[in-house]
Structure 1
Amino acid sequence: MRSTRSRGAEPEDLTTRARIRDAAVLRFGREGFGTSLRVIAADAGVSAGLVIHHFGTKEKLRQACDTHILEEIKHAKYENLVESTGGRFLEYFATAEQFAPIFAYVLRSLQHGGPLARSFVDHMVDDAVEYMADGVAAGVIVPSRDERARARYLVLSSLGSGLLSITLDPPEDPSDLAALMRRHFDAITLPALEMYTEGVLTTRRMLDEYLSYVGDPPAAREERTAG
């Protein structure tokens, strides 16, 4: 995982802060948010006091982890959806294990629940709206009648499939994050790409019936408001 650098800090300070944050992401993903700061400090090779120096509290450390994870997801999605070039997706597929800590952290956040989990998902939806819009502008994604609703559906579907995957078929070794990521990615890639690329239904009948039923689809509503 890449380190997130802040302006105005010394390089050594930045490196230590990033090392603590990355250690926290791994521990939180493997064991949950009950993990102590002392354990995270030991993983990062620093003292618990240094963790407090950089982040203040475990709550603020988790917030820093959330911010970093959201940035990583947004960057990866943008690269694969908007800046997609020949061979880029295959490279991503072949190295999917590198995203295992992110995958585990996100699922752990969902399992933990609460206001932070809700805020985390809301931020994921906000980011999805942004990179989907960039994809539409680049001509690689089909426009939607309701871009935010589509982004939210895709985020919730993706998170739900991952959570159900480890809940219904838990890995033999929960600490092996790479194997967990690879198994899930192998299972969903083909059907997901088929649905996103070729669709599922062979006619527009159900969509047209729905649009007729609601009577005021989002696209028509927006056009009327703009006019």
Structure 2
Amino acid sequence: MSSERDPEDLTARARIRDAAMRHFAEHGFERTTIRGIAETAGVSSGLLRHHFGSKEALRDACDEYVLGIVRRLNEQTWAAFEAGDLGGAPSAQAPLGQFNRYIARSLIDGGSAELFDEITRMGEAWVATFDARRDDEPFTSARVRAAVVSAWGLALPMMSRHLSRVMGADLETPEGFALLANALLDLYSHPLMSPEEAAAARAGLSEAVDTERSHP
């Protein structure tokens, strides 16, 4: 028997995966059914189980597929950064789409822990790189800040309807994405607080925590 896989078999697998991502994003993991995914993919439930075995295994396959894309975009963005051409990075041009919605919904449902951890690890490398340019010591570790930025970024798709309404542009269009990207670049490059204001706020926070601990 030949070890090569039938191209049609691979196509069916990809259709099932793409259909599952749409269903998981729109309905959540619990409400999504094997039958519904199979109908959208145009295959039988039996073929779906043949390829993936279970709904849980199918979600794992979706996570791994998205993670592969995120890793590739991260590598390409690093290359663009090192070449001094961040504007040409794919991640700076790609509009929000089904992957972001899938990730956000999966995280809400309590899944994709490995995916979030990997995105945080990627972010940690970026934060550490920018930390090397700082003249002062960071308030928290690169990992903590990377996790916060990751959560911030992944929350944007969940708020896309509200953001689109307030911004006056659909975030899933090139124009809307460009507006969002420029807003983020402005926030990243121009702090809202001065170092002195941040230091005062940090001192007040520390005092409040100490007071709370001394008066349980």
Confirm or deny a common fold (TM above 0.5).
yes
Q: Measure, in 1, the Cα distance between the counterparts of 2:205 and 2:118.
A: 29
Contact 2:80 2:88 (8 Å CA) reproduced: no
- CA gap 1:89/1:23 in 2 versus in 1, 3 angstroms: farther
Q: Could you tell me which of 20, 30, 34 is aligned with 2:16?
A: 20
Q: Measure, in 1, the Cα distance between the counterparts of 2:196 and 2:79.
A: 30
* Counterpart in the other structure of 2:177: 185
Q: Could you tell me which of 29, 43, 60 is aligned with 1:63?
A: 60
Question: C-alpha displacement at 1:146, in angstroms?
Answer: 0.6
Q: Measure, in 1, the Cα distance between the counterparts of 2:203 and 2:78.
A: 28
Rg larger for:
2
- TM-score normalised per structure 1: 0.65
Q: Measure, in 2, the Cα distance between the counterparts of 1:106 and 1:14.
A: 23
Q: Measure, in 2, the Cα distance between the counterparts of 1:150 and 1:214.
A: 18
Cα displacement string for residues 170-206 of structure 1 (whole angstroms, at most 9, x for unaligned residues)? 88xxxxxxx55337634421221112223333x3114
Summarize the alignment of residues 9-158 of structure 1 with structure 2, pairs less than 5 Å apart: 10=5, 12=7, 13-33=9-29, 34-81=31-78, 83-84=80-81, 85=83, 89-90=87-88, 92=90, 96-97=94-95, 99-111=96-108, 113=109, 115-116=110-111, 120-121=112-113, 123-133=115-125, 135=126, 141-143=130-132, 145-158=140-153
Number of aligned residue pairs: give it.
190
Cα displacement string for residues 83-113 of structure 1 (whole angstroms, at most 9, x for unaligned residues)? 335666356478534x5110221232244x2
Question: C-alpha displacement at 1:149, in angstroms?
Answer: 0.4
**Sequence identity of aligned pairs in percent?**
29
Cα displacement string for residues 42-88 of structure 1 (whole angstroms, at most 9, x for unaligned residues)? 33332211100011111211121122223322332342355335666
Letter aligned with residue 17 of structure 1: R
**Runs of 4+ with >6 A deviation:** none
Summarize the alignment of residues 180-219 of structure 1 with structure 2, pairs less than 5 Å apart: 181-182=172-173, 185-201=177-193, 203-209=194-200, 210=202
Q: Measure, in 2, the Cα distance between the counterparts of 1:110 and 1:29.
A: 10
The SS at the match of 1:96 is coil
The SS at the match of 2:32 is coil
Q: Measure, in 2, the Cα distance between the counterparts of 1:169 and 1:200.
A: 20
Contact 2:16 2:38 (8 Å CA) reproduced: yes
Deviates more, 1:152-161 or 1:79-88: 79-88
5+ residue gaps, structure 2: 133-137, 208-216
- TM-score normalised per structure 2: 0.68
5+ residue gaps, structure 1: 1-7, 172-178, 216-227
RMSD: 3.5
The SS at the match of 1:71 is helix
Q: Measure, in 1, the Cα distance between the counterparts of 2:99 and 2:90.
A: 14
Contact 2:80 2:89 (8 Å CA) reproduced: no
Larger RCO (alpha carbons 8 Å, 6+ apart):
1
Cα displacement string for residues 138-170 of structure 1 (whole angstroms, at most 9, x for unaligned residues)? x5x33455111011110111223332333x468
